[in-house]
Amino acid sequence: MPIIDLYEHSEQRHNLAHFATLASLAAADGVISEKEKAILDKFAFKLNITDAEYKEVMKKENKYPIETPHSGEKRLKRLFDFFGMAFADNNLDEEQMELVVKYAIGLGYSPQKASLIIKKSIAIFTGKIAFEDYQYLMDK
């Protein structure tokens, strides 16, 4: 097997874990709204999640660990995606907020840094900005 096949497999595993985390956030309040489902569908396409993987992830008993990317930009991108899902219904409830905090820490941010990034992100996401703008603001 060529080394590139191993990389692609590993990347797909990371994508699946990221998608599973997004799905957990969407289901945190017990219901996946139509808007959240539409966003999950977009992420499934973007992350190359198969129909079988999608169905497996959506089972309530499934729990996937948070995969931490080594790149700071990839970690921030995953957090950006996570906030996109959190704000899909224009509401960040208490359960979702707990997941956001756990996810940020799970991605490798210290609790203090996670708190700062979350505070900034909540302020930013009320205005819906592009990732490049988000990244710029997070680096400040």
One-character DSSP codes across 71-108:
SHHHHHHHHHHHHHHHTTTS---HHHHHHHHHHHHHTT
Question: Using one digit for the tens of pLDDT, what is the confidence trace for 7-32?
Answer: 446 777 778 888 888 888 777 777 78
**In the block, which residue shows the tokens 């997004």?**
22
Residue 112 reports pLDDT greater than 90: yes
Q: Which residues contact 128 (CB under 8 A, 6 or more apart)?
A: none
Stated pTM of the model: 0.61
Q: Report pLDDT for 12.
A: 78
